[in-house]
Amino acid sequence: MNKTLAPVRIALVGYGSMGKELERLAPQYACHVEQIFTAKRPLSSASATDLNFDVAIDFSLPATVLENTRFLANHGKNIVLGTTGWMQHKDMLAAIVHESNIGLVWGTNFSVGVQIFSHLVRAAAEFAERFDDYDVALHELHHTRKLDSPSGTALSLAALIQDALLRKTTLLTDTSHGRIAPEALHVSSTRVGETPGTHTLYIDSLADTIEIIHRARNRSGFAIGALRTAQWLRGREGMMEFSEVFPKLHI
């Protein structure tokens, strides 16, 4: 990254494993942590002197996303939203962003590697569309503390697959206790231990199997993507998804 960029002042909303990784890596990506908000020191309790930052990075909880977004929007603060599990409120968030003229970038996964993986998944699905004897499925694996299942990343990948693979008209995210309909795209999940995240695309036929895998080694990839986005977002307006930012990032 260009080291001549002026540091962007950030606030961390949520200080779990991701928040600590963001704090550790911030100096390497032209960011300076000005404030940290936690469950014991919530964003809603912030005073005017606590709001001396350019961009808030929210990796908190789905239940707090609307409240956090309203508060930050009312104070004219741009937001990098890494929390997942809030998509049922997307229209409300979009309205808040539009009315307040702030900038918000959301993503189910801020890993640059996952963006590369997503392009590969879509290309593979487009190719599989030409050959009816190849079936497609998706599996994701995460640590036991993850709140949503399937992961937001898996659902985003599933949307890419269904957009390209037209014969997969329905989505099956529950455990199957019987035969799966050929038109169903099966997205399965496993929760175990401390694994930060693995997503696997399966393309299978009688003749062979193809597997495309993204395996996160740690949380640094997610933190790096969020920090780069915070730098990019400073001074911008509108609600955007991380894939819209990705081509503009300096990697």
* 77 catalytic per annotation: no
Domain(s) labelled CATH 3.30.360.10 in the chain stretch across 112-215
19 and 61 Cβ atoms separated by less than 8 Å? no
pLDDT, residue 1, reads 45
pLDDT digits (tens, 9 = 90+) for 46-58: 988 889 999 999 9
**What architecture is domain 8-110+219-248?**
3-Layer(aba) Sandwich (3.40)
250 is catalytic: no
Condensed to tens digits (0 to 9), the pLDDT of residues 135-148 reads: 999 999 999 988 88
**Model pLDDT, residue 4:** 59
Low-confidence ranges of the chain (pLDDT < 70): 1-5, 246-251
Burial of 243 (0-12, 13-18, 19+ CB in 10 A): middle
**Pick from 210, 214, 197: nearest CA to 137:** 210
DSSP alpha helix (H) spans, the chain: 17-25, 65-74, 90-100, 112-128, 152-164, 220-233, 242-245
Residue at token pair 């994701």: 140
CATH 3.40.50.720 intervals, the chain: 8-110+219-248
pTM score, whole prediction: 0.77
Identify the CA nearest to 242 among candidates 97, 67, 79: 79
Q: Which two tokens stand for residue 200?
A: 């696997």
Number of continuous H segments (helices) and E segments (strands) in the chain: 7, 11
Give pLDDT, residue 249: 46
**What is the per-residue pLDDT for 246?**
66
Strand partners, 188: 139
3-state secondary structure of 121: helix
Catalytic residue, from 77, 139, 146, 214: name it: 146
Given the residues 77, 142, 168, 214, the one annotated as active site: 142
Question: Coil, strand or helix: which one is 167?
Answer: coil
Q: Which CATH architecture group holds 112-215? A: 2-Layer Sandwich (3.30)
